[in-house]
Amino acid sequence: MYDYAINVTEDAFSFWSSCDDIPEAHSAGDTLEQLLHNATEGLEVALWTYVDQLRHIPKASPPKQGQHVIHLSALVNAKIALWNAMRDKGMRKADLCRLLIAAQTKVDRLLDFQHSSKIEQVESALAALGKRLAVSVEAA
């Protein structure tokens, strides 16, 4: 769903990446391994731009030849789904606070892609929006 393909460029002493689906996401590293690790964080940070600008987060396009795929965690995928469900209903954070009868800080954490919220809390928020969280396991 939200496993984004990145373009990797190698310079003389470093690697850097860009993402066609999330143009705000850029990362760098001294090695390819370090870059791929940093790209996850770079994507999560870039997703905040979409929340901040009240924009829908796009699904990932199929990877093209030569691209590397960054697999975001199940929790981050659930949070993206929550945000997009809110956008589909024209809701803002304050609307979700009222719906859940929750403090602003709780909702902020539910939509913070780098906060380790409990998946059950995200699942409950999705249920309040008429959505059900489904998890599947696939071959690597």
CATH number at residue 49: 3.30.160.250
How far is Cα 52 from Cα 136, in angstroms, rounded to an integer? Answer: 30
Quote the pLDDT of residue 139.
84
Domain range for 78 is 74-128
Task: Kindly state the tokens that stand for 121.
Answer: 């809390």
How far is Cα 92 from Cα 33, in angstroms, rounded to an integer? Answer: 37
Percent of the chain beyond pLDDT 90?
93
Return mean pLDDT, the chain: 95
How far is Cα 33 from Cα 105, in angstroms, rounded to an integer? Answer: 35
Average pLDDT over residues 111-136: 95
Which of 22, 46, 71 corresponds to the end of one domain? 71
Quote the pLDDT of residue 1.
79
Which of 46, 71, 96 corresponds to the end of one domain? 71
Which of 35, 55, 71 corresponds to the end of one domain? 71
Quote the pLDDT of residue 137.
86
For the full predicted model, state whether its pTM sits above 0.75.
Answer: yes
Q: What is the DSSP string of 87-127?
A: HHTT--HHHHHHHHT--HHHHHHHT-TTS---HHHHHHHHH
Average pLDDT over residues 72-86: 97
How far is Cα 108 from Cα 129, in angstroms, rounded to an integer? Answer: 17
Split at pLDDT 50, 70, 90, the class of 138 is confident
